[in-house]
Amino acid sequence: MKGGKMKTVTIKQSIDDFKSRLQSLKKYSPAFEFYIKKINQGETLPRGKYFRNRVAGNKPVIMDEFWIGDNAKKLHEEINTFHKLWG
């Protein structure tokens, strides 16, 4: 401080700032995620901090008729493209 003067600073924080920082601190490992999805639901996961509070198996996928009808043409085109490329 020059001359012994103090300066007051006001800072505002929001919960959104805290949430984004917290999510950036979480570790993400594709290998562990793959392993969790690979084993069957109900089986026990290995010990370790990454596997705490996790459930084995894939998450259920729910599709209704509207989703299928809306995206059927796009899906059909993608499948045809895949078959053309990979035979």
Check: CB of residue 40 under 8 Å from CB of residue 57: yes
Residue 45 pLDDT more than 80? yes
Check: CB of residue 70 under 8 Å from CB of residue 55: no
Q: What is the DSSP letter of 59?
A: P
Please write the tens of the pLDDT for every residue from 50-65.
888 888 888 777 766 6
Domain positions in the chain? 15-86
Residue 87 pLDDT more than 60? no
Check: CB of residue 38 under 8 Å from CB of residue 56: no
pTM of the model: 0.39
Residue 14 pLDDT more than 80? no
pLDDT of residue 68: 64
CA-closest candidate to residue 54, choices 67, 41, 72 = 41
What is the C-alpha to C-alpha distance for residues 82 and 73, in angstroms, rounded to an integer?
14
Check: CB of residue 39 under 8 Å from CB of residue 56: yes
